[in-house]
A and B are shown apart, each in its own frame.
Chain A
Amino acid sequence: MLVPIFTLKLNHKINPRMVTIGKFDGVHPCLTAATQAGKVFIHNPHTRGQRPVAHRLSQSTQDSDISLLNINQAVTCLTAGLLGPNTTGDTLLVGSQTNLLAYDVHDNADIFYREVSDGANAIVLGKLGNIPTPLAIIGGNCALQGFDYEGNDHFWTVTGDNVRSLVLCDFTGDGKNELLVGSEDFDIRVFKEDELVSEMTENETVTSLCHMHGSRFGYALANGTVGVYDRTARYWRIKSKNHAMSIHAFDLNADGVVELITGWSNGKIDARSDRTGEVIFKDNLSASVAGVVEGDYRLDGQQQLICTSVEGEVRGYLPASKDLKGNLMDSSAEQDLIRELSQRRQNLLLELRNYEENAKVCLIKTNSGMGVIPANTQLQTALSVRPASEVQKAHVELSISTPNETIIRAVLIFAEGIFEGESHVVHPSVQNLSGCIRVPITPPKDIPVDLHIKAFVGGKTSTQFHVFEITRQLPRFSMYDITADSSAAPPTGWVTFSINDRPQRVVMWLNQNFLLPEGVDSPDATFNSLRGGGLLSISMASNGQITLRTDDIDLAGDLVQSLATFLAIEDLSAEADFPRYFEELRTTLTEVDEFHSVHQKLTAAMADHSNYIRNMLVQAEDARLMGDITTMKKRYRELYDLNRDLINEYKIRSNNHNALLVCLKSVNQAIQRAGRLRVGKPKNQVISACRDAIKSNNVNALFRIMRAGTAPSRG
């Protein structure tokens, strides 16, 4: 049984996921974590009583090993590592909703302090692609930005939604690091510098990523899933009712291969084999885990796994010694083996008994409470598109029926990403039992989904039912109803591109990705979007030019990406126009300007007010010392009013800031959307050209790029 080699109580709360270890003087590793009140604490037990106190750093009065760093803003992420070329030790990087601070703890000085308007939700430090210097890469609202040690941004790109997790690893195996980005739209994206190389769709917000070895990496989702990918293939995953707070790769059983260490919200820590997900070790902290890191904390040349809880508990584990033989748990392997084998034997015996009893019943045909059904009962399932009616919204209908007098007591559908939880249940009341159940399904996003259906089939009065398990796939674009004629106004938005493929291939794509009752045989089709997005029409000219008409730029992007994947197109440029969307974007851009100017005005007003306060306070205290109580009261009353004004202004400022963030996010999303209408190189060109246009504040050029797909020639 593996036991912790050290346990500490730090008496400071630790914000989840904001824990790191840095060797700030180049030698001694220090546990560094964000705590309450906009502070970061640095735990340095190695050099007691020889630290100067100045600038941001102050000694904690509760614990002499801890220094506190005042950030004065809610910390959102932090990391430590080598950033600059000539520093003695690691640089501490602290991100907040508006700023990024690079700080030299050893010299007690700021290296740079940059405003980042998109916020910093996640941070990673390291080398990316061919960029020569290490970068501090932050992920914010739909944007990624990388800074070097001087605070210059060498890397910028956009992604589909708010970034929640980042990791650098050599995904493609070319010897250079790629950036893996997990975001709130459930995707893990892989960037080779600013080129998107891969995209894996998960079914919840990706909260953590960690590099295991080679091209293998671990991930954690907001719904309690953790797992391991090797490139784009998922090796294994497990789901718990608790949330994975932090994941880390560490070789705990000393077999030369790292395990995935997960810290859970209930305080549990487990180590799982990277190949199978089998638990090889577990332990419990008393409170939710805040972060899992590694470092040589005892300075004895061995790396320890260090787990921290939100209440400030820290435990360190050494990799298992050889004589534990990889058996880290407190149970005997042989007992477990025997138990497992016996369990399997028991299961087989029970199954066998089921068949025997079944055969007996077949012979004598008595009817007891077993829920007897005809042996040839088979469930029929059908998927169809149902347009909106008076009583029901538009939906995809899954109908399940039995061929005989048996009834379906309940239907459980397990599917990812289309229900609120992971399952949907239909349970008719006793009066409404029948052999047919219709389940309305409304997938919120255009993703292909496997529906794992479990239907309980039996008689009306049975207490035991047969469980039929069926899996059906819902195609990606299932919420589109093919319509023959249309009185609705044709869509104004369109995107057009050329492909070198036969129309039959496009027809195949249509049949595979849409729910079509009879199938189609020409690549021209018109659909009605059940989500209320109006019409969608697809047409293909004889020269291979495809035009998609819809007002929904997201849908257009999804269709282009899906078609390109199906036809294995690597690079695809396109022309497009979405007048309505572009108009909205134009308004947003003007709003951004307005919010910026309001922001400046408010900041100036705040500075004025703080001057007043200073004066007023001096005057009030003067009056008190002079014994002039009336004036003092007056001054303090004024001070109180001023304070109230300041609070109000703060509220306005924060509202303004939030509105600004929303706008900036939608601008970033617009760039991402324009990119998604193209594939490969043209896509990256569009994104970087858009970025340049926004930097130079050239709105017209921005729209030209979005339409034409290339930067207009400068001149």
Chain B
Amino acid sequence: MEIHLNRVDYMQVGVTSQKTMRLLPALGKKATQKVAIADHDGILTCFGMKKGEAVPVFKTLPGQKITRMDLGGAVGTPQEKIFICSGSQVRGFTKKGKQFLTFEANLTETINAMHVSGADLFVCASYIYNHYCDCKDQDYYLSGDKINDITCLSSENLTRPAPVLACQDRVLRVLQGSELAYDIEVPGPPSVLELYSKEGGEEILYGTTDGKMGLVQVGERSAATKWEIDNDKKRGGILCIDTYDIIGDGVNDILVGRDDGTVEVYGFDSNNEPTLRFEHVLSESVTSIQGGCVGKETYDEVLTATYTGWVTGLTTEPQKAEAGPGDEVRMSKETQSKVEALRAELEQLQLKVLQGREQYQQISQSSTAVSAVPVFSINDKFTLCQDDASYSLTLEVQTAIDNLLLQSDVPIDLLDVDKNSAVVSFSECDSEQPNGNFLLATYRCQANTTRLELKVRSIEGQYGTLQAYVTPRLQPKTCQVRQYQIKPLSLHQRTHSIDQDRPMNRLSLVGQFSFAEIHAWVVFCLPEVPEKTPAGESITFYFHNTFLGTQLEATYCKGEGHFRSDNISTISILSDVLSKEATKKKINLNISYDINDDSVSHTLKMIHPKLEYQLLLARKVQLIDALKELQVHEGNADFLIPEYRKILDESANLLEEYKKQPAHLERLYGMITDLFIDKFKFKGQNVKTKVSSLLEILDNYDLNSLLDFFNEA
């Protein structure tokens, strides 16, 4: 079942946050709906479409940036009251724009997630959850990691409404009053929650920052996962979800908006499995998505709001034929008047801007005046991609980016991204002091680039800062710097549990340090650890290495810390960094090791299949060209042995696979070398001189000879 949707742009507001655009319920059947959207300028706009033109219903005055929007209303009535939150304040508006509620939540932090249901108001600031009923404090909960979204379930099967929090540490926390009922493990950090059915029910949809999606059924004591969709196509993280029957088969479809601009529609096949039915790529993050009817009566559409504030519809209304009988491309009257109005507005603005420029020039003559340009907003994301163990950095600005300067004080590799059309140029850099630059690269962007995607590969054990200087095409020209930490164990990712049967090495620290201090060190070493010191006496975190698959368990409390890993290099890096950090704070550490020699051969055996696969792949790829030449020369490939014929048949796949993992083999070699050095470091031996013979063995790789070499040396 194919659907075809056409894109229509409705209007543009300021920069928007996640989930800040909603469709108000339709008044009658088949009538168009009004759109409410709130932006970073603090303006709440409500508009409807009339004859292709956006007609505002109301617009509030600018103020603090609005971070969320939800619709509410008394139970049983249309949910048409608009609730927005900015700072720690929640405000309510009627659909006519009359403000009927101002509520100060008295939180020290800004609210970043909100859910309204009848008289209940649920708000979350980074770690705090609060529940109010009729603006009276009800429940309170402190989460272990950042809360990204909240929703609340109510159903006949549940004794009381169950709020669900989407937390950064890859769990959905189901609450009962002020207590945690249980948590649900999900495959990635969840970024958005949505009720599967708008009428209630116990099913919720979640989307993750690494682009996965799933449906869970929440029960009183436990939850069951109905289905999960992986992110095979490497699309962006999910920012918003809605359910709406856009296909028109009587079943609600799932509408998904992602941070790389992808809009997807999933329908359900006869087995009730979700399948992708439609896909469209906008050029910027899709922050909100809704299904409904806006542009024209009887035509359903998917309405999206993007980061830079564009409200765009993907409508089922067929596009009109553009060319008329004349030579000119005929424009509809509506469009013509729209264009004229825009042009007139532009002219006026141009004049104003010219005045502004002149004044700005005049100020520059004065010796006392200062020049200060307001901070422009950058939407950035720096995440570890699990499948190729590299970091992806995305930057998005509300106007076109002119250029980007990347600077790093650690050795990192910059990888090419197909989507990125900017011209990159690497500058010579002086890694020696005084400047200590390991990477200086400029990206000169093509016109109209508002979003840039980069890929960066780090090496574990080498840590520092990556800085991005973003210069947009906006007068007066300014640039903003963003910093990203490359942590010592940069390739590690949080996980829910580890395999306890593996041979493990242990690193133990004892000393005069507080819980907060050791937590700060762990935050310094490992990604995805909440910055806030956890509640309670002690804490355990589990990690796995995305590249090798080895694992790490960190358990610590005041005065004591234990780290267990099957990878000896992980232990070595941790011990180096922790002792360095402790020395900085002048804290005496008592470090002890418990090295398990089996762990090294265990790790080597874990690397073995990867290494063997890569070596075989490299060998096959090397042969492809020669074999193809033989094939052309002889006219066919029948005379080749089956193995070679197979390589020829699979050549396209092999090449693609090979291209996907640049320098994979070199990385594996590097890690084996580290393993070798670290193994003997703990024995007090320096084996750097033997590395060349190790590399020789790797060149003629065989697991047994490698194991022997590790044991003998």
Chain A positions within 8 Å of B, measured between CB atoms, are 12-13, 35-37, 39, 60-62, 68, 224, 239-241, 266, 323-325, 327, 332-335, 337-339, 341-359, 361-362, 365, 368-378, 409-410, 412, 414, 419-429, 431-432, 454, 456, 463-469
Contact = CB atoms under 8 A, between A and B. Distances in A.
A39 B356 contact: no
A66 to B, nearest CB: 10
Interface in B426-447: 426-429, 433-437, 440-442, 444, 446
Most chain B beta-carbon contacts within 10 A, residue among A241, A335, A369 = A241
A464 B375 contact: yes
Given A325-B323, A346-B399, A337 B435 contact: no
Contacts of B363: 358, 362, 375
B633 interface: yes
B346 interface: yes
30 contacts: A36-B632, A239-B423, A239-B444, A240-B421, A240-B446, A241-B422, A323-B323, A325-B327, A335-B9, A343-B448, A348-B346, A350-B398, A358-B360, A369-B375, A370-B372, A370-B375, A373-B370, A375-B363, A375-B364, A376-B364, A376-B366, A410-B469, A412-B403, A420-B428, A421-B426, A422-B423, A422-B442, A429-B437, A465-B478, A466-B371
B342 A338 contact: yes
Contacts of B474: 347, 350-351, 354
A589 B440 CA distance: 46
B372 A423 contact: no
Contact of B478 (A224, A365, A466): A466
B335 A370 contact: no
Given A36-B625, A431-B434, A375 B478 contact: no
B409 to A, nearest CB: 8
Contacts of B412: none
A427 B435 contact: yes
B372 A344 contact: no
Contacts of B407: 410, 425, 427
Closest CB pairs A-B (n = 10):
A421-B425, A355-B356, A61-B635, A467-B477, A375-B369, A425-B427, A425-B440, A357-B374, A372-B372, A361-B372
B628 A342 contact: no
A348 B399 CA distance: 10
A35 B405 CA distance: 42
B350 interface: yes
Contact of A374 (B327, B335, B349, B371): B371
A341 B632 contact: no
B10 to A, nearest CB: 10
A350 B424 contact: no
Contact of B373 (A337, A357, A374): A357
B357 interface: yes
A107 to B, nearest CB: 24
A62 to B, nearest CB: 7
Contacts of B356: 351-352, 354-356
Contact of B471 (A347, A378, A454): A454
Nearest to B433: A429
A349 B11 CA distance: 15
Given A370-B372, A375-B371, A427 B440 contact: yes
Contact of B421 (A241, A356, A412, A429): A241
B249 to A, nearest CB: 27
Interface of B: 7-9, 11-12, 308, 319, 322-323, 327, 329, 331-332, 335, 338-339, 342-343, 345-346, 349-350, 352-353, 356-357, 359-360, 363-367, 369-376, 398-399, 403, 405, 407, 409, 416, 418, 420-429, 433-437, 440-442, 444, 446, 448, 469, 471, 473-481, 625, 628-629, 632-633, 635-636
B372 A357 contact: yes
Contact of A420 (B364, B375, B423, B426): B426
Contact of B369 (A325, A352, A362): A362
Contacts of B369: 362, 374-376
Contacts of B352: 348, 352
Nearest to A427: B407
A338 B335 contact: yes
Given A241-B423, A342-B342, A357-B374, A374 B629 contact: no
Contacts of B8: 335
A425 B428 CA distance: 8
Given A240-B423, A346-B12, A464-B375, A425 B429 contact: yes
A353 to B, nearest CB: 7
A355 B370 contact: no
A419 B407 CA distance: 18
A119 to B, nearest CB: 22
A62 B345 contact: no
Given A341-B339, A423-B442, A429-B409, 8 more contacts: A346-B308, A346-B399, A357-B372, A359-B359, A409-B481, A421-B424, A422-B444, A465-B479
Most chain A beta-carbon contacts within 10 A, residue among B331, B429, B477 = B477
Given A353-B374, A375-B364, A61 B424 contact: no
Contact of B423 (A224, A323, A333): A224
Contacts of B332: 334
B469 A341 contact: no
A514 B545 CA distance: 58
Contacts of B405: 410, 412, 425, 427
Most chain A beta-carbon contacts within 10 A, residue among B409, B422, B434, B632 = B632
Nearest to A467: B477
B310 to A, nearest CB: 8
Contacts of A61: 635-636
A358 B373 contact: yes
Contacts of A420: 426-428
Contact of A352 (B327, B349, B373): B349
Contacts of B416: 241
A343 B437 CA distance: 37
A358 B359 CA distance: 10
A569 to B, nearest CB: 38
B418 A266 contact: yes
Contacts of B319: 332
A97 B403 CA distance: 42
A368 B473 CA distance: 23
Contacts of A410: 405, 407, 469
A466 B373 contact: yes
Nearest to A327: B329
A361 B369 CA distance: 9
A414 B444 CA distance: 10
Contact of B349 (A327, A349, A414, A422): A349
A341 B12 CA distance: 11
Given A61-B635, A412-B403, A466-B476, A423 B371 contact: no
Nearest to A353: B374
Contact of B632 (A37, A372, A412, A463): A37
B350 A348 contact: yes
A374 B9 contact: no
Nearest to A463: B481
A432 B323 CA distance: 62
Given A345-B345, A345-B346, A432 B425 contact: no
Nearest to A37: B629
A429 B432 CA distance: 11
Given A351-B353, A376-B366, A424-B428, A35 B632 contact: yes
A332 B330 CA distance: 11
B434 A432 contact: yes
Contacts of A409: 469, 481
B370 to A, nearest CB: 5
A464 B353 contact: no
Contacts of A325: 322-323, 327, 329
A344 B633 CA distance: 59
B425 A423 contact: yes
B357 A355 contact: yes
Given A36-B632, A61-B635, A425-B405, A375 B429 contact: no
B12 A374 contact: no
Nearest to B371: A375
